[in-house]
Amino acid sequence: MFDIQGSCHCGNIQAEIRLTRSPGSYAPRACDCGFCLKHAASYLSDPNGAARIHARNPSQVGRYRQGSNTAEFLFCKDCGVLAGVTYRSQGRTFAAINSRIVEETRFGTEVAVSPQKLSAGEKTKRWEEVWFPDVSIPEL
């Protein structure tokens, strides 16, 4: 297991990530939708790994839904950094972390993805297959 951490620029939102492989073996997914492009987001996840997202000041965590309105993006209201995206289904929380919040860790080459080409059902099925499962978000 490989444990890494990340945070938004001001440190309010923090992520603790456990990967099952070396970070360099992961190819973060750069979504090509307008929202993710504007944030230069590139997502990291491991369906066999684990993630915990927490905030020093939960009132400064913004939530935004776009596209199919199924996923919820988490960003810091203080510094504006997009930290990740979550999806809840049947009592479970799935998430992908914006790899750009992780410093001093080298990932593989990013790959472009186009989830907007998928139906809402296809998206949620994919998220349940590739995102971190059972994500802990204690105070959010």
Architecture (CATH level 2) of domain 2-130:
Beta Complex (2.170)
Residue 68 confidence (pLDDT): 80
Please check the confidence at residue 67 and state whether its pLDDT lies above 80: no
Per domain, the residue ranges of the chain are 2-130
Please check the confidence at residue 65 and state whether its pLDDT lies above 90: yes
Question: What are the pLDDT digits (tens) for 27-64?
Answer: 999 999 999 999 999 999 999 999 999 999 999 999 99
Residue whose entry in the numeric block shows the structure tokens 């073996």? 25
79 falls in which pLDDT band (50, 70, 90)?
A: very high
Question: What are the pLDDT digits (tens) for 85-111?
Answer: 999 999 999 999 999 999 999 999 999
CB-side neighbour CA atoms (13 Å) of 76:
21
